[in-house]
Amino acid sequence: MITYEDFEKVDIRVGKIVSVEDFPEARKPAYKLTIDFGPEIGIKKSSVQITVHYSKEELVGKQVIGVVNFPEKQIGPFMSECLTLGVPDENGDVILLRPTLDAKIGGKMF
């Protein structure tokens, strides 16, 4: 079990997807996202396995939720700089966690 103080260490922010690229080198179908987390955090890149439910075109301009203070992670030839959050559907495919209304870009979850 973690403490509330442990949870407070995780920096979870609202970001806006500014570009989406295919990631053919990934073991499972994935996209490479470029996400704007606002002036305090800036632009970060993330690899996400969301090709089942989302097209590249529909993702651009959408808001997502991400952890911005994890260490970078090498995923094949790509360096992921943040963790884009999602939950599984009934088949285990990823559904993105997203604000239901427009939120402030860079806004911190509380």
Average pLDDT over residues 33-45: 98
Please give the distance of CA 53 from its chain centroid, rounded to a whole number: 15
**Is the model's pLDDT at 110 over the cut of 90?**
no
pTM (2 d.p.): 0.95
| pLDDT band of 7, cuts 50, 70, 90 | very high
Average pLDDT over residues 33-58: 97
Share of the chain above pLDDT 70, in %: 100
Given this model, what pLDDT does residue 34 score? 98
Q: Give me the CATH topology for the region 4-96.
A: OB fold (Dihydrolipoamide Acetyltransferase, E2P) (2.40.50)
Write out the chain in H/E/C secondary structure: CCCHHHHHCCCEEEEEEEEEEECCCCCCCCEEEEEECHHHHCEEEEEECCCCCCCHHHHCCCEEEEECCCCCEEECCEEECCEECEEECCCCCEEECCCCCCCCCCCECC
State how far the Cα of 54 lies from the Cα of 68, in Å rounded to an integer.
22
